[in-house]
Amino acid sequence: IQMTQSPSSLSASVGDTVTITCRASQDISSSLAWFQQKPGKAPKSLIFAASSLQNGVPSRFSASGSGTDFTLTISSLQPEDFATYFCQQYDGFPFTFGPGTNVDVK
C-alpha cells in the first residue's frame, strides 16, 4: 500500500491552523496513524485509528478520514509544533509510511 502526503512542506506562523493530507493507494479503513518528528529525535506518536489522540497529545491536534483519504489538522500552531509529520498505514503488512510533511516557520 503506497502512502502519499501533501503538501511536502508548508510555512506557517504561530497561531495558524494547518492541515496535512495523507492518501492511501487502497482502502485501509481507519488503520492510520500520525507521527511528529523533530530533527535528530525519535518520532512521537500523535494519532491512531485515524482520529484518536494518543495520551498526552494536546487537543489542538485533530485528525479525520477513512478509506483512502485522511487529514491531520493543527489548530493554533505553537512554537513546539514546527516539525515533520508522517502518516502510516497499519491495515496490513508491509506497514508503510508517507514521505512526510515539513512544517516550518514562515
Binding site for other proteins (CB under 8 A): 31, 33, 35, 37, 41-45, 48-49, 54-55, 86, 88, 90, 93-100
**DSSP-assigned states of every residue in 23-57:** EESS--TT-EEEEEE-TTS--EEEEETTTEEPTT-
Which CB atom, from 43 or from 67, has the smaller least distance to other proteins? 43
What's the min distance (Å) between Cβ of 78 and other proteins? 21
Task: Count Cα atoms within 13 angstroms, Cβ side, for 71.
Answer: 8
Which CB atom, from 14 or from 95, has the smaller least distance to other proteins? 95
What's the min distance (Å) between Cβ of 46 and other proteins? 10
What's the min distance (Å) between Cβ of 60 and other proteins? 20
Which CB atom, from 49 or from 105, has the smaller least distance to other proteins? 49
How many whole angstroms separate alpha carbon 42 and alpha carbon 52?
A: 21
Q: Would you call 92 exposed, middle or buried from its count of C-beta atoms within 10 A (0-12, 13-18, 19+)?
A: exposed
What's the min distance (Å) between Cβ of 13 and other proteins? 26
